Amino acid sequence: MAAPENDTSIGFKPLYAQVKDQLIRRLVDRTWQPGMGLPSEQELARQLSVSQGTVRKALDAMTAENLLVRRQGRGTFVAEPEDSRILFQFFRLAADDTDAADMFPDSKLLDWSQAEADGAQAKALSLSVGAPVWRIERIRLLLGKPVLTETITIPAAAFPGFEELDEIPNNVYRLYSVRWGVTIAKADEKLKAVAADADDARHLNCKAGEPLLSVTRIASDLEERPVELRISRCLTRDMHYTASLR
Amino acid sequence: MAAPENDTSIGFKPLYAQVKDQLIRRLVDRTWQPGMGLPSEQELARQLSVSQGTVRKALDAMTAENLLVRRQGRGTFVAEPEDSRILFQFFRLAADDTDAADMFPDSKLLDWSQAEADGAQAKALSLSVGAPVWRIERIRLLLGKPVLTETITIPAAAFPGFEELDEIPNNVYRLYSVRWGVTIAKADEKLKAVAADADDARHLNCKAGEPLLSVTRIASDLEERPVELRISRCLTRDMHYTASLR
DNA sequence: GAGTGGTCTAGACCACAAA
DNA sequence: TTGTGGTCTAGACCACTCC
């Protein structure tokens, strides 16, 4: 970083992008953990031998990606997997009538077991077929009413000691972070309309054949490795999924 | 803008935001039209009596919102409603198998008539109930197969002379722009799973009761006024809606 | 070679939070 | 009062496009 990197090659990266990579590395290796304050811009600029403006550009980019939180007068902090933030960032279902911010959905655990990745799971998680995975099935409720079934698949290798858990918390992204240092940074979702099968009908208290919104999510960590596959089947009679295009 | 705006009030806006508002005003009043080049950063800075860096921050923000396109060595241009951009920005349906960029969907016009806004339409478009609107119903096809029905509702007042059109083009956002200077800058969508009714079944060549993805879009112009309500009902057997969360 | 946006720097002042 | 991030400025050099 000290050298001007007289780089004419195709792999050129601007200084601020290199700085950002450096900072992300410190998040990955847990030098800076969620909730902790980073050094000031001036201090980082000294450490990395770049100007404060260049550090700022990297910090602003990471803030835009919800990796950091900046507070004027206080400092820059590593974003925490708080319920409110996770809800806002990763939960797109809202009640039709209320515009109010919704609550974190409750969970009812159905099943939780080790399994071997099938073709689709292996592909989604960049594993080989048959690789050990954990599978969690649960129902999620809003205001006491079941709104969706959720099947979570995660690679066993990325979450050692998973079997020692005595319960699955509501907010698993917080669990991933606290227990294994895995930060969910991004998620890609594919949506379809499907018909409720017998299991759906039983769990969601609806008729078989009723239209459900199927959401297939692949969530990735700071290094853009897929670490969770989540398939939800949502009853959207009184709810909807929101998306904003710009 | 020349005065430092010694502003202690709650309504304070940073300079670059004021510059951005100024520039958007020039887009709204069509001083700068789609495809046109803007003056250089230096020139804008002189005109507005601010530094180049402040102009740059405004231009960068507008580029991030897809209002402008910047090309190194050439200049800054007003974004055009080209098929490829509109497709990328506002069309979220993709075929399950191909990862390739999809084509702009063909359209088959079903109906096109003036009507009076009902309660839901009035609310969505900030009109009073009974206000005159145009309603367009069409089917959209990919690779020759019908994939969705689409009902577009627009305020008649915002599109004078709409009745003189002798056809509805595939890309209506381009039409809005070219003919009425209306730029679609943002869209909010609400998704639900619904059952196909008899009309859906006929148009999409599926069975009544088959699950469809219902997408209700409210599209807004540069001044954030809602100008189009669009309700799509999509067959998602071989397709999906994509969303990215970060 | 002239002009454009892209990057990087250095320094000033302000608004805000905490001690 | 001190230290932080937020804003604004001024100027330098680079990479790219076009003539």
Give how far Cα A132 sits from Cα of A118, A156, A162, A165, A179, Å: 10, 6, 12, 17, 19
CB B83 within 8 A of CB B91: no
A contact residues 165-194, partner B, Cβ 8 Å cutoff: 185-194
B207 pLDDT higher than 80 = yes
Can you tell me the mean pLDDT for A70-89? 96
User: Closest protein residue to D14 using CA and C1' atoms?
Assistant: A6
Q: What is the pLDDT of residues A30-40, one digit of tens each?
A: 999 999 999 99
The CA angle A134-A136-A142, to the nearest 5 degrees, is: 155
Mutate to test the interface with A, among B190, B221, B224 (most CBs of A within 10 A): B190
Q: How many CB atoms lie within 10 A of CB B82?
A: 15
> In terms of Cα–Cα distance, which of B32, B29, B3 is closest to B15?
B3
Q: Of A66, A188, A209, which is closest to B244 when you measure between CB atoms?
A: A188
Asked whether the predicted pLDDT for residue B182 surpasses 90, the reply is: yes
Chain B residues inside the 8 Å CB shell of A242: 188-191
B144 or B220: which carries more pLDDT confidence? B220
pTM of the shown model: 0.93
Tokens of A164: 């020692």
Question: Which nt is closest to the CA of A73, judged by C1'?
Answer: D4
Domains, in order of start, for chain A: 15-78 (1.10.10.10), 83-241 (3.40.1410.10)
β-pairing, A93-95 vs B132-142, is unpaired
In angstroms, the separation between the Cα of residue A144 and the nearest Cα of chain B is: 21
Average pLDDT over residues B78-88: 96
How far away is chain B from the Cα of A171, in angstroms, using its nearest Cα? 17
Q: Does the beta-carbon distance from A185 to B246 stay under 8 Å?
A: yes
* Three-class secondary structure of residue B163 per DSSP: helix
- Give the model's confidence band at A5: pLDDT under 50 very low, under 70 low, under 90 confident, else very high: very low
Q: What is the C-alpha to C-alpha distance for residues A157 and A161, in angstroms, rounded to an integer?
A: 9
Rounded to 10 degrees, the C-alpha dihedral B28/B32/B36/B41 comes to -110
Residue ranges of B 107-166 with Cβ closer than 8 A to chain A = none
CB contact under 8 Å between B213 and A195, yes or no, is no
pLDDT tens per residue, range A114-150? 999 999 999 999 999 999 999 999 999 998 899 999 9
Q: Average pLDDT in the B96-124 region?
A: 89
